[in-house]
Chain A
Amino acid sequence: MSVTEAKSYPAPRPSKLTLFMRSFLPWQFVRFLVINLRMTVMIKKSHGRNIGPETPDNR
């Protein structure tokens, strides 16, 4: 496969509103809080588990 030319490729393009919102600072501040929250949840879910001493699982 040769180079796919982005200019003529039929991918969904963001609307003007979407582009505007991506750098509209008040909205981005809200997103900042939301993304931080999501990442905190991810961190909480991902800290591994204590399998305790001597379980059959821990080798």
Chain B
Amino acid sequence: MRVVILGAGISGHTAALLLRRKLSKKHEVIVVSPNSLWNWIPSNIWVGVGNMKPADVTFDLPSVYKRARIEFHQAKAIEIYPEGLGDAAHPYVLVESTKESDRGQKTEIKYDYLINATGPRLNFGATPGLGPDGFTHSVCTVDHAYSTALELDKLIEEMKTGQKKTLVVGTGHGLCTCEGAAFEYIFNLEFELRQKGVRDNARLVFLTNEAELGDFGVGGLQLKSGGFVTPSKVFAESLFVEREVNWITGAHVHKIEKNRLEYETLDGERDTLDFDFAMLLPPFTGVPLKAFNKIGEDISNQLFNASGFMKVDADYTVKTYEQWAPEDWPKTYQTAYKNIFAIGIAFAPPHQISKPRKSKNGTMIAPAPPRTGMPSAIMGRIVANSIADMINGVSENPTHAASMTEIGAACVASAGANAIVGGAVSMTMYPIVPDFKTYPNVGRSLVHTTGEIGTAGHWIKKLLHYAFIYKAKALPFWWIIPE
């Protein structure tokens, strides 16, 4: 049997390594991914403030796969044929090489099982002027993060001569996700500016689509602290005030020009903000993949939702916020085709987690649900387990489940990279998608949903950086390190 995995990010790489470990040598594991470098994306934040170099957060993927006996194609998948094409039907995926030597060459790769782990397409085009080709910076890829750091260096030099600058960090569209990454970036930025002695010359503004600080796209958290159950909004606002970071919440950015952006907030007001430096995240869509049936008809809308994410075993019925239920969320990540699965950011969530809102003018300002590293890797693990069982004849159906309403997440948001005076916010939340039936009023376990700030958080973040890169390199006993 042959398992083909599209994407070598956190979820796909986890699935590939585990499948290779679980399946005997007569079965093939093939990975298709356009980049030959593996990137530990969470540490791009540190590259983006000049604290780490690209080489610290990446490594050469083909050599790891060679050692692990996984076949690697440096290519991007463009079309899926789940029923094959014509009479001699065997499912296959059409891929296009991204390798220098044969760039653009197309190959058909047959599969028995397919995992779509292609992550997000960074949709900078959603807001005019957004992104490295426009007027703002990004830390979503290591190359983006590195050029952001170079620009930041120049700005810091100017600030050293006494010039005052406005730096904006946040989300570049009302439908963005990953607000946690923007949160980390602004506090790392604030910390670095202090370390470099130019903090007094910087005005920092956090611009976010979250209706309130501390929402993180998961509707915020309720935390037990000092005899109270307190919303994460209070803790987040406290940190912003302490570090003198100003903010704009519930914002959708309409357009960006050189040094100026135009935005609208939930109350319907439109305003502009002048800036000297901006790091704004783009909204995500699925990567452009098409699907065809055996007579060549386009069946993409059966496999993917309107944003290009792959539909799995979720309940996609359109419902109001009040009707949302934990059961809506997928468990096994199997699609309508029994041998195709979608994991990580590539699967289509049934709806947001945070309450979606519209501005008074009808503009949607609704954080998309985050699918962070830990759940993405867990999905990789359970789908690898299910496929291994299906191949080994244990069952015809997936044997493992991990709904985001049943799993939690541990998140460490860096707020300054220094082992003595740095710090991070260490959070755990359980479950990721609130369950108000099991946990009335708060939606999550008050025992397992926690958060605190301190230097210890930085140590953990650094430890995770080394541990996950070690694991991803499949070095001895890598499987002992949990997802």
B448–A42 contact, CB under 8 A?
yes
The 8 Å CB contact of A35, one of B389, B407, B456, is B456
- Docked Cα-Cα span, A32 to B483, in Å, equals 19
B234–A51 contact, CB under 8 A?
no
- Docked Cα-Cα span, A12 to B240, in Å, equals 10
A53–B247 contact, CB under 8 A?
no
* Total chain B interface residues with beta-carbon distance under 8 A: 64
Q: How many A-B residue pairs have CB under 8 A?
A: 160
The 8 Å CB contact of A13, one of B241, B448, B450, is B241
Instruction: Tell me what chain B mostly uses at the interface: helix, strand, loop, or mixed.
Output: mixed
B234–A1 contact, CB under 8 A?
no
Query: Which residues from A are CB-within-8-Å of B406?
Result: 46, 48-49
- Determine whether B157 belongs to the interface, using a CB cutoff of 8 Å to chain A: no
B428–A42 contact, CB under 8 A?
yes
A51–B400 contact, CB under 8 A?
yes
- Docked Cα-Cα span, A38 to B397, in Å, equals 33
How many interface residues does chain A have, given as a range? 35 or more
The 8 Å CB contact of B410, one of A2, A12, A13, A43, is A43
B401–A54 contact, CB under 8 A?
no
- Docked Cα-Cα span, A14 to B398, in Å, equals 49
Query: Which residues from A are CB-within-8-Å of B105?
Result: none
Query: Which B residues contact A (CB, under 8 angstroms)?
Result: 205, 234, 237-238, 240-250, 265-267, 269, 271, 273, 313, 331-332, 334, 374-375, 378, 381-382, 385, 389, 394-402, 406-410, 420-421, 423, 426, 428, 430, 448, 450, 452-457, 459-460, 482-483
Apart from A28-B456, A45-B407, A49-B401, 11 more pairs, CB < 8 Å:
A2-B248, A6-B240, A6-B241, A21-B454, A31-B454, A35-B457, A42-B430, A43-B374, A43-B410, A46-B374, A48-B381
